[in-house]
Structure 1
Amino acid sequence: MGPTNNNKSTRPGERLSDGLAHQQDHSRRNFLRNLGIIGTSGFLLNKIPVNALGMSPLMAALAGADDDRVLVMIRLKGGNDGLNTLIPIHDFGTYQRHRPDIFVPRNEVVDLTSTLGLHPQLAPLRSLWNEGQMRVVQNVGYPGQNLSHFRSSDIWATASDSEEVINSGVLGRYLSIQHPDFLSMPPATPPAIQIGGPGNLLFNNADDFNYAISTENPTQLYQIARTGQLYDVNDVPDCTYGEQLSYLRAVANTTFRYAGVLAQAYDAGENSAEYRNDRLGDQLSLVARMLRGGLGTRFFVVELDGFDTHANQVRDHGYLLQSVAENVTAFFADLKAGAIDDRVLAMTFSEFGRRIFQNGSAGTDHGAAAPLLLFGKGLNGNGMTGGLPDMNDVDNNDNMKFQVDFRNVYATVLSNWLCIDGDLVDNIMGAPFERMSDLGLFCQGTTSTRNRNTTELPFKAYLSGGEVVLEYDLPTSSRVAVHFFDVSGKKLSAPYSGQQLAGGHVQRFALNSVGWASGLYVVSLEVNGKMHSRKLGVFR
């Protein structure tokens, strides 16, 4: 669990303690506001929020790295219900008792391990899990959970403590440090793109200006390039108004310049996977196409709204989870077809979870701790961390207590996936938040050997004499289970579960009893909640 930082001077950017608003007069921004063009989410172009994004220390560090890794953040807007996303099968009776009308029936739960099950609409994610490209962080939150959508969203974007207000986002602080005059020297490729709601503070600097190229409608990123024009920043009156007009034109020029780059990548790329015909599908398909077209952008934020399920949760939540599962699976299939799936890490986030108890409208109200999902080859295997949800140990609002500070996840992704210098990450985060080694992330050439050795279990699966044979070594006494899946990810059986001592083990399962026909199968060995999988071909 990361520390609560009370030193108000350690984080770059303006801190607004005690909820006081920033009162300084920024003439350029005020001029744009007076024209009705700019707000806290940037300026409007063709009625679309669009913002220019410049070089940052994060981008500079990436430019010097050995790879070009990408982070895609998937915002589940509204407060996702964790208990109906990852079903608490370890304490199913309590879960069902507190949610008699909205619980997921046990026979519909998609089991991943003996303690981890998915909502049935998340079933497509099982293929990523079996391929070692999905990890789950349970019980994510922060101290002093705020149950307001707006305030909690700001906390997640700024990495602030709950009792302080900061007007700069985590990535916005990178931008303001490295390149305060980004309009005069914009990079050739936009380093970040945000699709969806324009109000997120993630890319805001201390002056309340949002740096990200942002649009409500994903298709309009492409349309802008076809309809835009450039403005002369010199042919303006020699006065204060002319200075401000030149600034506005410079911002617009940067936007159009990036729009051309986006259009070029869009034209060069393609989609090979089948996405759902919905908002999230449109966003992720566009991101995949531009990445496959060679776009060098390394940060993307996409959004799926509707998770504020106070009523009719069974119907609405299931539909949303189906969108997440099908579109994320399609997204990584698309990236794989373009041979770039090893470059991309995707991560869900939501401002809070939901209450343990259902309400009177067949829904759930604002809660606290909830799970966070990560996807990608860079995870180096599947697994769960953060502990099991405890519906009995609750806070004063009858919400589950958080066990993992979301800022630990942020710091780990920045340090171990994007390979940013640790001191720089601590400076931007405002405190040295703990890095989570059990996420399986590492930087090439630095911690890869150590992490691989500590997370991967020696495990063999093969056919011999009409039997499926499993050989493995346990470093300590462990809870072990065996699971069999077909190649599509459908679970066929779990023939063994029990406690085993440290040392070498061999398990045999007769093919006649397994009932496998010819084809490909996945054999998964679960050790203390972590899955280790191998593919096995049967040919008769």
Structure 2
Amino acid sequence: MDNLTRRRFLTMSGVTAAGALAVGATQVNWSDLMTAAVRDPLPSGDSVLVVVTLYGGNDGLNTVVPAGDPEYQKARPELAYQADEVLDLGEGLGLSPGLKGLKGLWDEDLLAVVRGVGYPEPDRSHFRSMAIWQTGAPKTPVPTGWLGRWLDAAGADPLRAVSVEPTLPPLLAGATTAAASLPVRGLKLPEGKLGTAFAALGKPSPGEEHWHAAAAKSVGDLQNAVRVLGGAVHDAAEREEDEDEERTKGASAGGGSQLGAQLDLVAGLVEAGVPTRAYSVSLGGFDTHADERGTQQRLLTELDKALTPFVQRMRKTDRGRNVVVLVYSEFGRRVHANGSDGTDHGTAGPLFVIGEKVQGGFHGEQPSLTDLSNGDLKATTDFRDVYASVLRGVLDADPEQILDGHRGTIDNLIKT
């Protein structure tokens, strides 16, 4: 199967509002964001939402694992984890062994696991299901993303929402405004003796002429940008070049492998006081039709190693403590394994919400493994309930206005 690019997903999803397909039309650079941080800094009391999309359809049953359930073991004789392999959460569930850092966050009541999340009349197409999740509209296709509509309602300032993905995702496309885009890319200054000499150029000297002072300030600004944005970005570019066949398994539904770099970039922008309230990042490769166990555990380990240090870093500052992370995928996988040591497209799955403002623990009912719908899990939580909770509790918005009158929420998911 040919890998499907994010750009092709944008085209096929039907979300075309506000120039979402004109990749680069809303791109900003570091100087735009740093200028905004000086002129209109993010108030220390404002919360920030970071949305993490796991492209491909992550297998929820092997993420939050009912390892002690005999029905789970029977359905997946080769894929199932044993009870002593998972990280115990209680209630017969455990996290994948690749999520050790998230288990630590769970122990500190910073991780909420929302169980059985889905939508009515599920669709197993990557493109249709992702379009439903990103627009927040399961019944009828709409041309705007759920955070794009929030952006419209919040004053139509593109800098209020920023994607650090290669292209602008549909969830950030509004009717009148599209979010800003700051794709991860290389930014590195000289090192060694040359680097020392270059750094000296950014230091002001008493009595120097105006043009010398302006040049020094420009060099200093560039060094500051590298400090805030650059290191992880450059490292990510090198990692991308090193990708091999093992890294492309499961990558047939979009997404990249630079999550750590994306989150480092977001952390720097939050700490700098950039007035952005919503960020979008992503990780791809979760379409595990074959050889699932090793592929998914590798990806979940990558997710864990990106998310855990990001959350711990955010806890060190006032602005960072107001950051909430939402992690979702377009669908879960089938309950029963297929004949290729993998699983096929399914329906409901767990969703993670992380941060100091989050009420940790389980939310929602665990789907039954015996009461299935055509071999699939039945959703017990409407995904719009989660969106409504973060719209109200994180972004200070009226969810009914954004979600076409939807009134459901997850009680006590976000602390007040």
State the TM-score, normalizing by the size of structure 2. 0.74
C-alpha offsets along residues 396-416 of structure 1, whole Å, 9 cap, x if unaligned? 3x1000010000000011112
Assess if the C-alpha contact under 8 Å between 2:399 and 2:407 holds in 1: no
Assess if the C-alpha contact under 8 Å between 1:195 and 1:301 holds in 2: yes
Assess if the C-alpha contact under 8 Å between 2:15 and 2:173 holds in 1: no
Closer, same or farther: CA 349–83 of 1 in aligned 2, 3 Å: same
Assess if the C-alpha contact under 8 Å between 1:108 and 1:120 holds in 2: yes
Q: Distance in 2 between matches of 1:373 and 1:356?
A: 20
The within-5 A match list for 1:205-220 is 205-206=174-175, 211-215=178-182, 217-219=183-185
Q: Report the 3-state secondary structure (helix = DSSP H, G, I; strand = E; otherwise coil) of the residue aligned with 1:337.
A: coil
Q: Distance in 1 between matches of 2:172 and 2:314?
A: 25
Residue 339 of structure 1: how far off its partner (Å): 4.8
Aligned to 2:338: 359
Residue 324 of structure 1: how far off its partner (Å): 1.2
Match of 1:43 among 4, 12, 23: 23
Residue 290 of structure 1: how far off its partner (Å): 2.0
Closer, same or farther: CA 342–284 of 1 in aligned 2, 3 Å: same
The code of the aligned residue for 1:175 comes to L
Match of 1:139 among 108, 111, 116: 116
Assess if the C-alpha contact under 8 Å between 1:112 and 1:118 holds in 2: yes
Closer, same or farther: CA 114–442 of 1 in aligned 2, 3 Å: closer
- Unaligned 5+ segments in structure 1 are 1-18, 30-38, 53-62, 224-260, 444-540
Assess if the C-alpha contact under 8 Å between 1:139 and 1:389 holds in 2: yes
Match of 2:368 among 374, 385, 390: 390
Aligned to 2:298: 319
Closer, same or farther: CA 263–305 of 1 in aligned 2, 3 Å: farther
Q: Report the 3-state secondary structure (helix = DSSP H, G, I; strand = E; otherwise coil) of the residue aligned with 1:67.
A: coil
Residue 211 of structure 1: how far off its partner (Å): 0.9
Aligned to 1:431: 405
Closer, same or farther: CA 202–386 of 1 in aligned 2, 3 Å: same
Q: Report the 3-state secondary structure (helix = DSSP H, G, I; strand = E; otherwise coil) of the residue aligned with 2:104.
A: helix
Assess if the C-alpha contact under 8 Å between 1:262 and 1:290 holds in 2: no
Assess if the C-alpha contact under 8 Å between 1:102 and 1:362 holds in 2: yes
Assess if the C-alpha contact under 8 Å between 2:54 and 2:327 holds in 1: yes
Q: Distance in 2 between matches of 1:434 and 1:197?
A: 33
The within-5 A match list for 1:506-525 is none
Choose 1 or 2 for highest CA Rg: 1
Closer, same or farther: CA 298–197 of 1 in aligned 2, 3 Å: same
Residue 338 of structure 1: how far off its partner (Å): 3.9
The within-5 A match list for 1:247-258 is none
Q: Distance in 1 between matches of 2:321 and 2:15?
A: 42
Q: Which structure has more strand as a fraction of its residues? A: 1
Assess if the C-alpha contact under 8 Å between 1:138 and 1:389 holds in 2: yes
Residue 266 of structure 1: how far off its partner (Å): 5.8
Q: Which has the higher contact order (CA 8 A, sep 6+)?
A: 2
Aligned to 1:168: 144
Closer, same or farther: CA 352–377 of 1 in aligned 2, 3 Å: same
The code of the aligned residue for 2:184 comes to P
The code of the aligned residue for 1:134 comes to L
Assess if the C-alpha contact under 8 Å between 1:313 and 1:363 holds in 2: yes
Match of 2:48 among 41, 63, 70: 70
Residue 268 of structure 1: how far off its partner (Å): 5.2
Residue 131 of structure 1: how far off its partner (Å): 1.0
Assess if the C-alpha contact under 8 Å between 1:265 and 1:294 holds in 2: no
- Unaligned 5+ segments in structure 2 are 1-11, 30-40, 189-220, 240-256
Aligned to 1:334: 313
Mapped pair 1:407 → 2:384: yes
Q: Distance in 1 between matches of 2:384 and 2:76?
A: 30
Q: Distance in 2 between matches of 1:178 and 1:346?
A: 20
Aligned to 1:193: 162
Q: Distance in 2 between matches of 1:264 and 1:296?
A: 18
Q: Distance in 2 between matches of 1:336 and 1:65?
A: 16
Residue 341 of structure 1: how far off its partner (Å): 3.4
Q: Distance in 2 between matches of 1:287 and 1:113?
A: 32
Q: Provide the identity percentage.
A: 35
Assess if the C-alpha contact under 8 Å between 2:162 and 2:279 holds in 1: yes
The code of the aligned residue for 2:387 comes to Y
The code of the aligned residue for 1:169 comes to G
Assess if the C-alpha contact under 8 Å between 1:172 and 1:211 holds in 2: yes
Mapped pair 1:442 → 2:409: no
Aligned to 1:523: none
Q: Distance in 1 between matches of 2:168 and 2:333?
A: 22
